[in-house]
Amino acid sequence: MSSFLLQRLMQALLLLLIVSMIGFAILHLAPGGPMSQFAAGGDMTQADLDRIAEQLGLNRPLPVQYAEWLWRMLSGDWGNSYRDQQPVLHIIAGHLGPTLELMLTSTLLAMLLGAWIGIIGAVNRYSLFDGIATIGTMIALSIPTFWFGLVVIYVFSVGLGWLPSGNRFTIGDGSFLNRLHHLIGPCIVLALVSTAVWSRYMRSSMLDVINQDFVRTARAKGVPERRILMTHVLRNALLPMITITGLHVPSLLSGALVTETVFTWPGMGRLFLDSISYRDYPVVMGILMFTAVMVLLGSLLADLLYGVADPRIARSGR
Amino acid sequence: MTKHSDGKSCGKSRGNSTLALPMPAIHRRDMLALGAGGLLAASGFGGARAQTKAAPPPPAKPTGQVVVGLSQEPTAFNPLMPGIEVDETVWMQIFNTMWLAQPDGSLVPDLAVEIPSEANGGISEGGLAWKVKLREGVTWHDGAPFTAEDVKYTLELINAPGFKARTRVGHSLVKDIKVTGPLEISWRMEKAYAPYLALLSNTFIVPKHLLEKAADPNTAPYNAAPVGTGPFKWGTRTPGDNIQLVANEKYHGKGPYLERAVLKYVPDQTALYAQFRTGQVDLIIGTGIPANFYAEAVKLPGRKVMKIPSASLEILMPNLENPVLKDKAVRKALYASINKQAIIDIIYYGLHTPTESFAPQESWAYNPNLPKQSYDLALANKILDDAGWKRSGSGTRMKDGVPLTFAVSTTTGAALREQAQQLMMQDWQQIGVKMTINNMPAAVIWGDFYTRSKFDSLLVGTAFRTVIDPDPAHRFGSDAIPAKNGNGANQMQWQNAEADALMKDGQTTFDQAKRKAIYVKLQELVREELPILPIYQYAPVEGYKEGLIGFEPNVNARQNTWNMGVWYWAR
């Protein structure tokens, strides 16, 4: 087990290096740069722009910039934001809380609801419920998030006045109820798509198991249907879900780009979007590396958990 | 109408200290909001003034809060370092300048006791020697007294070699700064430079005693929690969301009357408007309310929505080094065949005002007698025929083997601008001009493509002056072409000896009447030579909740939070 872990960690480090090189190259080679926000003002002279570019180190060759960035990164200094002047780690940390709050709530909601729909759908395959769930899933997956977010705001905030039209809480009132109230809108939007995804996974995973020999045997032995479903089918059907959950971890931390923007949620997704549009290289690279680490950790976690959940996998081939 | 500056000048040398200089302001945001071009609207205002008729008196002590909605996030808090226009919403509250421009264009003293002029001896030796007396009894937010040393430190820091100063325009001419008393400062200029008065109205003074201790002022912790002399003190900041400022109860001027001011960042303009509608933000300033919501917004109950004056222009910026566009006849023909009124009425909901000048219509230097453009395709055809541009088989004109074709670029996703491009394309097609569209994302277009004049032509919102002074030398000067190693922002690459001479005179003359004559002439020259094709003058739509007293649009300020210190709620 430990050699497996070591091997996976080595792979992960190599992957991170490659990700950083590709990310850095794409970001810096893409046309446009951080100077554009200052240049657009018109009251900056060319000498001002050149001076700022030099102070930001943007006038040096790309490989030199990369080497410097990598060295600083390895020594724990993720650099300072061009736009914000603050340390990148500090900025990322500031956006993690809101993202976790939103993503955990909506994911939990989507997982429970999705699993329920998936299980009922699989058990009563081709029933009316299953049909409606299937069509509903298709619609949910096809709706553009941006549009749906605006519809939710238009209907529930502007029209009915039930929900706030955005923000994490009312400034001056950070109470639990106030926060909960603000969570509802973005959660509905995020959960819509995720529930659809989770229900499809759950349904197909259940169907895989439901037709297997041991289930038929159990049924033949007269085990009550409810017990078969709960102990035999569901338990086995949850195995692939572990992998999916593990792979879902990064998105918990990287946030939901569109939803956070529409609902003015100060999370990681919006930070990423803002930083890209300002070509804030240090922050974009910081988020990129942070997300890459999370993806690798998530898949590692999934592998390990899978082994724990199903000892056959842990023993074989490793 | 209560004015921020009344308080500042009262008790001191009020009255004789006000210098009447109507000087509209440059608006950086219009360039940045290129993508949101359609969201900005035409001039005409008055809602704010109307509501103050029966305004109740301000509260005895700071009360309540205001939530200001912004579509860009303020992130740079050291007012001397590179920042974008929206950062000024914070700087204006935390810091003060030596004098401040009013909506009517006059400058009133703020940290200074009076505005230096040749008449009061503050400016002498033909503009080379400056002397300023400073206000007594001003304290920094930490309690330390404000002195002339702070002003000296600020001016020196801007020019310090390693410091990331936002701009050194004008400041680099300052030499021999001397503190001649605790509240007296003098300096010399390398050459006479009249716009420096305007530049100082936008130069925020920072505290020496805090910044000089920092190992590196570029990265000082101060920059994330600034201390100033302004009506509000730094409170808290939630990055990506909001900034909270709290009342400075020891402020030297009138106010502040609000206990807290929240600057709320809502990046999506539709979402921002929704929050204004549902009452989560009390006002929208800056990029404003999208033009397509204007008609609806003015009818919202409990909201005051108005078009506010802006100094920015929508122009077609030709690159005069382009083989086609360098021909004046081509520019004249193109200009005659732009259907300005259709662009304004059909695309921009009739909000904007057509213009012929590079100077805003509120400016004291504005020339109202320029020839008016009329949409005339026959005239355009004739101009091109006379200039030897012959129609070829494909319908596109040619001259000396060069086809009359060029690209117009603007920011990707600026839907209303894209429609304007299409209108122009159709009109120009009829006079044998082939126009192509070459749009790019903001971060691309404002890079080398713009600064190094790599475009054929741009459809852009911008202004031509120095801060609030009508001097356009860094936009029109022959020595201001970055693509030719110049130091400025003459991206059109316009070179004209007569214009250069006029602008030089305008900079070295301090007499406003003489300067006006100079700029009136310069506007005639620009209208004739067409280094820019002016289309309309902007005015964004801003709005606030009824009951907010004191909001006053100011064409001479960069943001309409300029007088937030005197805002309060009617109770």
ipTM of predicted assembly, 2 dp: 0.79
Beta pairing, strands B260-265 & B65-70: parallel
Pairwise CB contact (< 8 Å): B238 & A51: no
Phi, psi of B518 (to 5 degrees): -65, -50
Pairwise CB contact (< 8 Å): A33 & B443: yes
Best CA proximity match to A108, nearest among A38, A194, A237: A194
pLDDT for res B43: 32
Count A/B contacts: CB-CB distance under 8 Å.
188
Chain B residues closer than 8 Å to A277 by CB: 441-443
Q: At what angle do helices A281-309 and A234-254 cross, to 10 degrees?
A: 170
pLDDT for res B182: 94
Chain A residues closer than 8 Å to B468 by CB: none
Distance from C-alpha of B77 to C-alpha of B245, rounded to nearest angstrom? 12
Pairwise CB contact (< 8 Å): A41 & B466: no
pLDDT for res A41: 62
Check if B484 contacts A (Cβ < 8 Å): no
Closest-CA distance, A74 to chain B, in angstroms, reads 21
pLDDT for res B66: 96
Least confident span in A188-197, B42-51, B435-444? B42-51
Preceding peptide of B256 cis, ω within 30° = yes
Closest-CA distance, B466 to chain A, in angstroms, reads 7
Chain B residues closer than 8 Å to A52 by CB: 82, 164
Whether the pLDDT of residue B262 is over 70: the answer is yes
Task: Return the biggest CA–CA distance within chain A.
Answer: 86
Closest-CA distance, A93 to chain B, in angstroms, reads 10
Question: Is residue B6 packed enough to be buried (19+ CB in 10 Å), middle (13-18) or exposed (0-12)?
Answer: middle
Pairwise CB contact (< 8 Å): A262 & B242: no
Whether the pLDDT of residue B249 is over 90: the answer is yes
Closest-CA distance, B397 to chain A, in angstroms, reads 33
Closest-CA distance, A218 to chain B, in angstroms, reads 56
Whether the pLDDT of residue B554 is over 80: the answer is yes
pLDDT for res B27: 36
pLDDT for res B264: 93
pLDDT for res A86: 84
Q: What average pLDDT does the segment B210-227 reach?
A: 91
How does pLDDT run along chain A (318 residues), one tens digit per residue? 577 788 888 888 999 999 999 999 998 888 777 887 777 665 677 788 888 888 888 888 889 999 989 998 888 888 888 888 888 998 999 899 999 999 989 988 988 999 889 888 888 888 999 899 999 999 988 988 888 988 998 899 888 989 888 888 887 777 889 899 999 999 999 888 888 888 988 888 888 888 888 888 888 888 888 888 887 788 788 877 877 777 777 777 777 888 888 888 889 988 998 898 888 899 999 999 998 988 888 888 877 777 776 666 655 544
Q: What average pLDDT does the segment B367-380 reach?
A: 95
Closest-CA distance, A184 to chain B, in angstroms, reads 16
Are B451 and A39 in contact by the 8 Å Cβ rule? The answer is: yes
Pairwise CB contact (< 8 Å): A47 & B165: no
Least confident span in A114-123, B154-163, B505-514? A114-123
Check if B168 contacts A (Cβ < 8 Å): yes
Pairwise CB contact (< 8 Å): B240 & A95: yes
Chain A residues closer than 8 Å to B271 by CB: 150, 153, 165-166, 261-264
Whether the pLDDT of residue B405 is over 50: the answer is yes
Phi, psi of A161 (to 5 degrees): 70, 20
pLDDT for res B210: 95
Distance from C-alpha of A287 to C-alpha of B37, rounded to nearest angstrom? 31
Phi, psi of A180 (to 5 degrees): -60, -45
Residue of B nearest to A258 (CA): B268
B443 residue type, one letter: A
Pairwise CB contact (< 8 Å): A85 & B219: yes
Chain B residues closer than 8 Å to A51 by CB: 164-165
Closest-CA distance, A141 to chain B, in angstroms, reads 23
Pairwise CB contact (< 8 Å): A46 & B169: no
Higher-pLDDT residue of B4 and A168 is A168
Phi, psi of A82 (to 5 degrees): -70, -35
List pLDDT tens digits, range B441-485. 887 888 889 988 999 999 998 889 888 899 999 999 999 998 998
Best CA proximity match to B427, nearest among B321, B532, B533, B320: B533
Pairwise CB contact (< 8 Å): A91 & B218: no
Pairwise CB contact (< 8 Å): A171 & B444: no
- Identify the residue among B32, B66, B72, B75 best suited for mutation to test binding to A, counting A beta carbons within 10 A and taking the highest: B75
Rg (C-alpha) for chain A, rounded Å, is 24
Spatial CB neighbours of B445, under 8 Å, sequence gap ≥ 6: A32, A36, B34, B409, B410, B411, B439, B458
Q: How confident is the model at residue B5 (pLDDT cuts 50, 70, 90)?
A: very low
Q: What average pLDDT does the segment B210-217 reach?
A: 91
Closest-CA distance, B351 to chain A, in angstroms, reads 24
C-alpha neighbours within 13 Å on the C-beta side of residue B200: 25
List pLDDT tens digits, range B101-141. 998 888 999 999 999 999 999 999 999 999 999 999 999 99
Least confident span in A255-259, B68-72, B133-137, B160-164? A255-259
Residue of A nearest to B488 (CA): A45
Pairwise CB contact (< 8 Å): A46 & B487: yes
B446: nearest CB among A36, A150, A262: A36
Distance from C-alpha of B527 to C-alpha of B449, rounded to nearest angstrom? 26
Check if B371 contacts A (Cβ < 8 Å): no
Check if B236 contacts A (Cβ < 8 Å): no
Pairwise CB contact (< 8 Å): A266 & B240: yes
Q: In degrees, to the nearest 5, what angle opens at C-alpha B65 toward C-alphas B64 and B66?
A: 140
pLDDT for res A120: 87
| DSSP helix/strand/coil, A196 | helix
Whether the pLDDT of residue B238 is over 90: the answer is no
Chain B residues closer than 8 Å to A166 by CB: 266, 271, 274-275, 280
Average pLDDT of chain B, as a whole number:
87
Q: What pTM was estimated for this model as a whole? A: 0.82
